[in-house]
């Protein structure tokens, strides 16, 4: 199933009008998102172009900046990134921290004509004035690789009227829930669906990823081990880690 960033933009069903899309200079991204020369090199190497497509704000979509006891979010920016090669999580994080408001980033991947959607909640840096830092990065599976029914349901769930309308912060949290729901559907080969307790599912998904990383690391170590006795020990550990990973995966089903 081929899904382009334009398909995702259309799925949001944004109000007509608004400013025209424009290309963002990569040197501005490097200035505000890169931490060192290696970061700047990665930006130049991996990113073909970065485009600003729309601003979601109280003025443009009629959703309040903040609700009671909630830090206001003045706007959410919709950006499209065309990549020359698979971007790393660090590169995506650089893009998300380059603008001091939340971003919905639609990344066009090379070769397979697929798209990823990423979001990243921000918070104020503790010791650097008004600078914002990324709390965590949430990246969807490649939409070409996710199941067709799950992908279609995910895309349909993005229409603005179907997203939380209490505030822009709640709307952004709704996007996070939908990306996590698609990830769970892809992992478990099940249908796409939201849940009553997204925090509990988020915690289970985090535990699954940690267990997966441990299992992958142990399996790699077992393959490199020359000692037969250590191979047996590592093999047993690998098996137990896989069982634990599978058990947690069952909680997501």
From 57, 63, 118, select the one nearest 86 (Cα to Cα): 118
pLDDT for 51 equals: 96
pLDDT for 126 equals: 72
pLDDT for 129 equals: 59
Q: How far from chain centre, in Å, is Cα 92?
A: 9
pLDDT for 34 equals: 82
Q: pTM of the entire structure?
A: 0.91
111 Ramachandran zone, left/alpha/beta (phi>0; psi -120 to 50): left
From 168, 157, 156, select the one nearest 66 (Cα to Cα): 168
- Here the contacts of 26-30 (C-beta below 8 Å, separation 24 or greater) are 26/50, 28/98, 29/94, 29/95, 29/98
Low-confidence spans in the chain with pLDDT less than 50: none
């Amino acid at each position: 199933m081929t899904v382009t960033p334009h398909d995702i933009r259309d799925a949001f069903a944004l109000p007509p009008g608004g400013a025209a899309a424009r290309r963002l200079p990569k040197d501005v991204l490097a200035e505000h998102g890169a931490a060192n020369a290696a970061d700047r090199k990665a930006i130049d190497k991996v990113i073909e172009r970065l485009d600003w497509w729309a601003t979601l704000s109280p003025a443009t979509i009629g959703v309040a900046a903040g609700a009671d006891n909630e830090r206001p979010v003045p706007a959410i920016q919709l950006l499209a990134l065309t990549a020359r090669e698979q971007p790393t999580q660090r590169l995506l994080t650089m893009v998300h921290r380059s603008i001091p408001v939340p971003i919905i980033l639609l990344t066009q991947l090379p070769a397979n004509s697929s798209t990823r959607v990423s979001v990243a909640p921000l918070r104020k840096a503790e010791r650097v004035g008004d600078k914002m830092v990324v709390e965590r990065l949430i990246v969807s599976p490649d939409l070409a690789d996710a199941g067709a029914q799950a992908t279609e349901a995910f895309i349909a769930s993005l229409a603005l009227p179907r997203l939380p309308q209490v505030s822009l912060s709640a709307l952004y949290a709704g996007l996070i829930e939908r990306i996590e729901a698609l990830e769970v559907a892809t992992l478990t080969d099940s249908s796409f669906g939201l849940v009553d307790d997204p925090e509990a599912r988020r915690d289970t998904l985090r535990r699954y990823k940690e267990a997966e990383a441990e299992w992958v690391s142990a399996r790699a170590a077992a393959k490199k081990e020359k000692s037969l006795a250590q191979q047996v020990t590592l093999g047993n550990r690998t098996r137990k880690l896989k069982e634990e990973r599978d058990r947690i995966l069952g909680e997501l089903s």
